[in-house]
Amino acid sequence: MNQALDPKALCRLAVQSLDKHKAVDIRVIHITALSSIADYFIIAEGTSSTQVRSLSDYVEEELKEQGVEPSHTEGYRGLSWVLLDYGCVVVHVFRKEARDYYNLEHLWKDGTPVPLEELIDVTD
């Protein structure tokens, strides 16, 4: 991973990419105190399988431009839930049905929600 990017900076880049490409209902949960698997979970929604793929591709491409590549990806075959694992940041891009079913926001409810205002300019 690009050593210049701390976990929050990496999280910010991923969220900005998702926002720029019209992801729906982006949520960020800070989970450092709860788990050693990551510092942040990013949860977002695409309106179709095509958009789930596109959003995931954009995040991968834009982070790769910053010298960061995922250590693991899952879900590109089914496209109802794509996971991009960047170690300290895990990006989840769902179709609505899968997001409702897995309900990660509830599973990680003891994490600290991160206001999007901390990561993107929401005044646009």
What is the DSSP track for 74-113?
A: E-TTT-SEEEEE-SSEEEEEEEHHHHHHH-HHHHTTTSEE
Q: What is the pLDDT of residues 17-27, one digit of tens each?
A: 999 999 999 99
pTM of the model: 0.92
The domain spans of the chain are 7-117
Q: Is the pLDDT of residue 63 over 70?
A: yes
Domain 7-117 = CATH 3.30.460.10? yes
Task: Kindly give the pairing relationship between strand 40-46 and strand 72-74.
Answer: unpaired
Q: What is the pLDDT of residues 3-47, one digit of tens each?
A: 468 999 999 999 999 999 999 999 999 999 898 899 999 999 999
Q: Which of 103, 113, 95, 106 is closest to 31 using CA atoms?
A: 113
